[in-house]
Amino acid sequence: MLYLLWIVKKQPEKTMRNLLLAIACLLPTSIFAAEDAAESNTLPHGFVYLRDIDPTIIQDMRYATPDNFTGTVVPGYEEGECVLRRDVAIQLRVIQTKLIRGGYSLKIFDCYRPKEAVRHFINWVNARPNARGPYHPTMTRAELLKRGYIGRLSTHSQGIAVDLTIVGPLLLTDHHYYPLISLYPKNDPCNSNAKNDASAEIDFGSGFDCFDKRSHANNPYLSDDQRSWHVSHIGGMRKHGFRNYWKEWWHFTLDQ
């Protein structure tokens, strides 16, 4: 190596680039691969992009769009990718493998939640504490905070919580699965009369982020089919270490 560097110093300027390229070719390619990985890996240690663990899991990252209860893109979600702790992502891959065999798929709404997003939710509450909306028709924003639908702290911020549903049957096109039409319009998740297509998102009695009793796991007004899906969905997630938050059928946390 020292000999080659000495040659570089003695060569005319026009040949320097070629010699440097020759030196590069002598170095192990793994060195450059490691450097590239270090430059591209901007996630904290132990965190991964879910897409890198299982690209078949459908992602509908609502807070990266205006189609959420705040009506705006939430700070921290600009990239629109599901990020989770590695062990959480691996368990989701196991669950997805079983669902795909039956023609269904997980669909992810939220994963890691930056702390700036948590602050944004609190600021949203404080901006109009007495306001109601389609995502919380029976409660004011302030009541959402008091009753535990919005928190000042979130397990999402630890990368161990995920909001999800099941879609299916699925269309198989070019060896890729695609969901059909969404069951609930995104801007009207609590309207049970607004269903579009029962073959898309499974009907759990409400849409994602419907902050209402209709989203509770013990909702007494569930139909037999809805209750059956609640039992199988929550039970299936529990078998793989996920604990459900009873007020939100979509929210699961991996037990530590």
In tens, the pLDDT along 29-47 reads 333 233 333 334 588 899 9
Class of the CATH-defined domain 42-254: alpha beta
Is the distance from CB of 107 to CB of 201 less than 8 angstroms?
Answer: yes
What is the mean pLDDT of the segment spanning 230-236? 93
Report the distance separating Cα 184 and Cα 213, nearest Å: 17
Q: What is the pLDDT, as a whole number, of residue 116?
A: 95
Q: What is the pLDDT, as a whole number, of residue 26?
A: 36
- Average of per-residue pLDDT values in the chain: 80
Q: Which two tokens stand for residue 212?
A: 């209402």
Please report, for the chain, the start and end positions of each structural domain, with discontinuous segments joined by +: 42-254
Is the distance from CB of 134 to CB of 192 less than 8 angstroms?
Answer: no
pLDDT digit string (tens) for 122-178?
Answer: 999 999 999 999 999 999 999 999 999 999 999 999 999 999 999 887 654 444 444
What is the mean pLDDT of the segment spanning 82-88? 98
Report the distance separating Cα 181 and Cα 164, nearest Å: 16
Report the distance separating Cα 245 and Cα 76, nearest Å: 24
Are β-strands 176-178 and 171-173 bridged in parallel, bridged antiparallel, or unpaired?
antiparallel
- Predicted TM-score of the model (pTM): 0.78
Q: Phi/psi of residue 165, each to 5°? A: -140, -175
What is the mean pLDDT of the segment spanning 199-203? 74
Q: Which residue intervals of 176-254 are DSSP H helices? A: 224-239
Q: Which two tokens stand for residue 109?
A: 């709404």
pLDDT digit string (tens) for 214-231?
Answer: 999 888 888 898 899 999
What is the mean pLDDT of the segment spanning 59-84? 94
Burial class (CB in 10 A: 0-12, 13-18, 19+), 242: buried
Q: Phi/psi of residue 30, each to 5°? A: -65, -30
Per-residue pLDDT at 62 exceeds 80: yes
pLDDT exceeding 70 applies to what percent of the chain?
74
Query: CA-based angle 124:129:132, to the nearest 5?
Result: 90
What is the mean pLDDT of the segment spanning 110-129? 97
Report the distance separating Cα 239 and Cα 256, nearest Å: 14
For residues 224, 225, 228 and 230, what is the CA-based torsion angle, rounded to 10 degrees?
Answer: -110
pLDDT band at 191 (very low <50, low <70, confident <90, very high): confident
Is the distance from CB of 58 to CB of 106 less than 8 angstroms?
Answer: yes
